[in-house]
Amino acid sequence: MFYRTAGQFKTSYKADQALFPVRQDAILLMVILAFAWVVFPLTASEFTFQTLLIPVLIYALAAMGLNILTGFAGQLSLGTAAFMGVGAYACYKLITIFPWMNPIVAIMLSGIFSAGIGVAFGIPSLRIKGFYLAIATLAAQFFLVWLFEKWAWLYNYNASGAIQVPNIEMAGVWISGPQASSITQYYVVLAVVTIMTILCINLTRGTLGRTWKATRDMDIAAELIGINLMKSKLTAFAISSYIVGVSGALFVFMWRGAAEPNLFDIQLSFRVLFIAIIGGLGSIMGNYLGAILIVGLPVVLNIVPSALGIPISSATVEHLNIMIVGALIIFFLIIEPHGLNQLWRLIREKLTIWPFPH
């Protein structure tokens, strides 16, 4: 009833293959985009920008990059944080070596460095699979973070070993650094994330995406039907690392403002992996749902007691928060092991046929 697809006839192949063949999906997306582009920026406070909107978008983008590799191409990676770090450090070096460079161009270029390193560490995937590959990517994680610590050129020989984002202007507006306003940074992040999402949706629907899925489902069969596994796996590594690298550059330049090497530690890798798994491997929308649950929910839970006037100490709130979020993760995984995206798909299916379950 709410999601009635009856009467929506497709008269051409083009219409049948459209991105959103069901009209309600397109309307829903429009509503979400309107919220993201107009309503949130108009109503959000500084706090909401900095702790909810911007981080959720950036984490969703990182998870989307990982999802290309793990969810679509079936190559488990534990090195996401290191690849984010490569993007961030590359962007920092680009900006400091070429101060005239447009920051958005620098962010986009920094993904290329990350893609190159991703391919290099993806080469073992041609010989090893599954958990063994995870261990190989773990090597990337530890090696790269070690490199960020030891290679002083990367942080311009700064005594503290950390990188600081400079104030950068574009067309008379501060885009990064402490002078930049949250709303500008939000729009930059939103624009990049929107473009990347469109790119990802189309990539995963096209030849490349089908090649990846074939590789994921059974690589020997894929090889037998003529898929070049090397090309398939390495493109997955390259594109995934590119997106992850861009998200890393956004992470530091549009949100954190400063970074020390151990920011890109394995905890961050796991965090992104959890977002991808809870959101749903092999989906695009799941990354957003996962990021909202893992990044957004703790922030909201934190303000609930004080907003309701319940006097609990903030340390207790933090303990409760960890328990509640942990319990929710288990709850969602029991209800739907395939992630929040699958949950949404089921809800949508039920709504389509409602009120006549079959």
Partner 1 sequence: MNDPKTGDILIHWEETMKKLLKLTSAVALGAVLGTAAVAQELYAPNLAYRTGPFAATGIPLMNGQADYLNMLNARDGGIGGIKINSEECETGYSTEKGVECYEKTKAKAIVTQPWSTGITLQVLPKTNVDEIPILAPGYGFSPMADGKVFQWAFNTPSGYWDAASMILQYLQGQGDLNGKKIAFLHLDHPYGKEPLPLLEKKAGEMGFELVPIPVGLKEMQNQSAQWLQIRRERPDYVVMWGWGAMNAGAITEAVKTKFPMENFIGVWWSGHDADVKIVGEAGKGYKSISWSFPNPDAPVMADIKKHVVDAGLTQSNEEEMSGVFYSRGIIISAILAEGIAAAQAEFGTAEINASQLRWGLENINMTEERIAELGLDGMVPPFSTSCSNHTGHSGGWMLEWDGSKFVKASDHLMPDTSDYAELIATKAGEYADANAPWPTNDACEG
Residues making contact with partner 1 (CB under 8 A): 45-47, 50-51, 55, 149, 159-162, 164, 166-167, 177-179, 256-258, 260, 262-263, 265, 299-300, 302-304, 306-308, 313-315, 317-319, 322, 335, 343, 346-347, 350, 354, 357-358
To partner 1, the closest distance from the beta carbon of 133 in angstroms equals: 23
Give the distance, in angstroms, between the CA of residue 118 and the centroid of all CA atoms in the same chain.
Answer: 16
C-beta of 59 vs 113, nearer to partner 1: 59
Bridge partners, residue 169, by sequence? 174
C-beta of 75 vs 137, nearer to partner 1: 137
C-beta of 16 vs 46, nearer to partner 1: 46
C-beta of 34 vs 304, nearer to partner 1: 304
To partner 1, the closest distance from the beta carbon of 255 in angstroms equals: 9
CA distance 303 to 99: 40
CA distance 208 to 214: 10
SS3 (DSSP) at 313: coil
To partner 1, the closest distance from the beta carbon of 273 in angstroms equals: 17
Nearest by Cα to 212 from 193, 197, 234: 234
To partner 1, the closest distance from the beta carbon of 4 in angstroms equals: 16
C-beta of 99 vs 226, nearer to partner 1: 99
Amino acid at 238: A
C-beta of 31 vs 303, nearer to partner 1: 303
What are the residue ranges of helices labelled H in the chain?
13-16, 23-34, 40-43, 46-48, 54-67, 80-97, 103-122, 130-150, 182-205, 207-217, 219-224, 229-250, 266-279, 285-291, 297-308, 314-335, 340-353
To partner 1, the closest distance from the beta carbon of 48 in angstroms equals: 9
C-beta of 239 vs 250, nearer to partner 1: 250
To partner 1, the closest distance from the beta carbon of 261 in angstroms equals: 9
C-beta of 10 vs 319, nearer to partner 1: 319
Cβ burial, residue 217 (10 Å; 0-12/13-18/19+): exposed
Q: CA dist 184 to 130, 164, 296, Å?
A: 41, 19, 20
Nearest by Cα to 301 from 275, 288, 319: 319
**What's the sign of the alpha-carbon dihedral 220, 221, 225, 231?**
negative
To partner 1, the closest distance from the beta carbon of 156 in angstroms equals: 8
SS3 (DSSP) at 26: helix
To partner 1, the closest distance from the beta carbon of 234 in angstroms equals: 31
